[in-house]
């Protein structure tokens, strides 16, 4: 199999747009639902739209598909969007862009979320892994792929078993969709469920300041799901797995619910570091609502403040 490392093409260079005027509050917000509450027709439409994206040409000038644009951008911006203040607003915008892409492929609903708190008593047995009503299950030990000396298990059931993601980090290597449920060892165990029980989420929600809230949410349940599902959910090309968007819509939902706990203050509550720091370097600059979020042409670069409220004209959704 031919591997090659890709540099960002010129067409993907980020374009900075000036902040827009304050958005008008939306009048008829769409309602994002938990995956298992979708009707069978809604699920089928959602799945069809994902497969549609996997057949459309890249909008970034890449030699891969529109679906692959998402892991490509997420990986390229990895250090700019994780363990920094913009983790939540950047991913909120990213999910919105994905939702719009699904609609271009015929989906008429809103993106769905996976509420993993409902499954934390035995995550590996969740109905989310059902091959008919869910997203397919764990990787199959009898269907493996070896990439760069490392063997991974391919998903062999469910609606995305034939999906062929193109990238692993910055390397072009078309492969099967991979999952490897684990508890930090070779055993599945409880899949780090202690990080996303209702009690664990309640402790995170108890933080009244944005900086602590987003750090605990990212480092706790967010990271636990990525690590426990593993496979394509682990590297920075984690949008390879459609589960990524169900997971990040849930992360966005928890932020939304936290904001609704004191909307007058928390709708625009924001703070923390703007960029990651390196050992020996000065303290990184502090984040502000005027910081521009880079999107590498998968969408327009916009200021953080434009994405803080889900009731804006741009977003216009609720849970």
Q: What's the CATH code of the domain at 256? A: 1.10.1280.10
- Please determine, for residue 271, whether its predicted confidence score (pLDDT) is greater than 70: yes
What gap in Å lies between CA 59 and CA 65, rounded to an integer?
Answer: 8
Backbone φ and ψ of 145, nearest 5°: -140, 140
- pLDDT at residue 25 in the model: 75
List alpha helices for 54-176, DSSP H. Answer: 66-76, 78-81, 87-104
Q: Is residue 138 part of a domain?
A: yes
Residue 200 covered by a domain = yes
% of the chain surpassing 90 pLDDT = 88
- Full residue range of the structural domain in which residue 139 is found: 24-318
How many domains does the chain contain in total? 1
Distances (CA, A) of 6 to 69, 166, 167: 13, 12, 10
Res 24: pLDDT: 58
Give the model confidence (pLDDT) of 51-64 as tens digits: 999 999 999 999 99
pLDDT at 13 over 50: no
Q: Distance between CA 251 and CA 205 in Å, rounded? A: 12
Which pLDDT does position 277 carry in this prediction?
A: 79
Q: Report d(CA 65, CA 172) in Å as an integer.
A: 12
Answer with the residue of higher pLDDT: 19 or 177. Answer: 177
Closest CA to 50 of 3, 102, 118: 102
* HSE (side-chain half, CA atoms, 13 Å) at 274: 15
Q: What is the DSSP letter of 30?
A: E
d(C-alpha 243, C-alpha 238), whole Å: 9
Locate 278 and state its tokens: 């390196």
What is the predicted pLDDT for the residue at 279? 77
Backbone angles phi, psi at 113, to 5 degrees: -125, 160
- The answer to whether residue 13 sits within a structural domain is no
Question: Is 30 within a domain?
Answer: yes
247 pLDDT above the threshold of 70: yes
Please give the structure tokens belonging to residue 126: 């969740």
Region of residue 27 (phi > 0: left; psi between -120 and 50: alpha; otherwise: beta): alpha
Instruction: Kindly give, in sequence order, each residue whose CB lies less than 8 Å from that of residue 150, ignoring residues fewer than 6 positions away.
Output: none
- The mean pLDDT of the chain is 93
* Least confident segment among 190-194, 214-218, 255-259, 276-280: 276-280
Examine residue 5 and state whether it is found in any structural domain, yes or no: no
* Residue 9 counted as domain residue: no
Q: Is the pLDDT of residue 97 over 80?
A: yes
Residue 298 contacts residue 68 (beta carbons within 8 Å): no
- Separation between Cα atoms, residue 191 and residue 189, nearest integer Å: 6
The rounded distance, in Å, linking the Cα atoms of 289 and 274 is 10
Distance CA 252, CA 244 (A): 12
| Listed residue (297, 319, 182, 165) closest to 242, CA to CA | 165
Gap between the Cα atoms of 281 and 278, Å rounded: 6
Cα separation of the two ends of the chain: 44
Q: Would you say residue 1 lies in a domain? A: no
| Overall residue count recorded for the chain in this entry | 319
Give backbone dihedrals phi and psi of 256, rounded to 5 degrees, phi first. -55, -45
Q: What's the mean pLDDT in 151-160?
A: 97
Confidence (pLDDT) at 246: 99
- Asked if the model's pLDDT at residue 39 lies above 80, the reply is yes
* 294 in a structural domain: yes
Average pLDDT of the segment spanning 110-132:
98
The tokens for 2 are 């031919």
Angle 66-76/87-104 helices, nearest 10 degrees? 170
HSE at residue 300, side-chain half, CA atoms within 13 A, is 10
Q: Which residues contact 212 (CB under 8 A, 6 or more apart)?
A: none
Nearest partner of 9 among 60, 56, 57, 58, judged by Cα: 60
User: Looking at residue 1, what is its pLDDT?
Assistant: 34
Q: Is the pLDDT of residue 18 over 90?
A: no
């Amino acid at each position: 199999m031919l591997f090659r490392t890709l540099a960002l093409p010129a067409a993907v260079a980020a374009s900075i747009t000036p902040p827009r005027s304050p958005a008008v509050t939306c009048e008829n917000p769409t309602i994002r639902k938990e995956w298992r509450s979708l009707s069978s027709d809604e699920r089928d439409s959602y799945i069809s739209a994902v497969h549609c994206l996997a057949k459309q040409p890249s909008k970034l000038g890449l030699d891969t598909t529109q679906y692959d644009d998402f892991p490509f951008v997420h990986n390229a911006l990895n250090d700019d969007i994780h363990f920094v203040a913009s983790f939540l607003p950047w991913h909120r915008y990213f999910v919105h862009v994905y939702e719009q892409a699904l609609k271009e492929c015929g989906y008429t609903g809103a993106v769905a979320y996976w509420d993993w708190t409902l499954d934390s008593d035995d995550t590996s047995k969740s109905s989310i892994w059902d091959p008919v009503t869910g997203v397919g299950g764990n990787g199959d030990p009898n269907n493996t792929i070896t990439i760069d000396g490392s063997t991974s298990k391919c998903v062999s059931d469910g609606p995305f078993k034939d999906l062929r993601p193109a990238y692993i980090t910055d390397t072009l290597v078309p492969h099967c969709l991979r999952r490897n449920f684990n508890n930090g060892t070779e055993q599945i165990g409880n899949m780090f469920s202690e990080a996303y029980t209702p009690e664990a989420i309640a402790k995170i929600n108890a933080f009244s300041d944005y900086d602590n809230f987003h750090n605990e949410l990212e480092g706790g349940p967010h990271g636990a799901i990525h690590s426990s599902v593993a496979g394509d959910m682990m590297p920075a090309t984690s949008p390879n797995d459609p589960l990524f968007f169900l997971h990040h819509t849930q992360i966005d939902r928890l932020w939304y619910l936290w904001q609704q706990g004191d909307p007058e203050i928390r709708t625009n509550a924001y703070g923390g570091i703007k960029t990651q720091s390196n050992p020996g370097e000065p303290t990184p600059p502090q984040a502000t609502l005027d910081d521009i979020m880079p999107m590498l042409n998968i969408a327009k670069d916009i200021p953080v403040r434009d994405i803080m409220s889900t009731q804006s004209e741009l977003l216009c959704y609720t849970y």
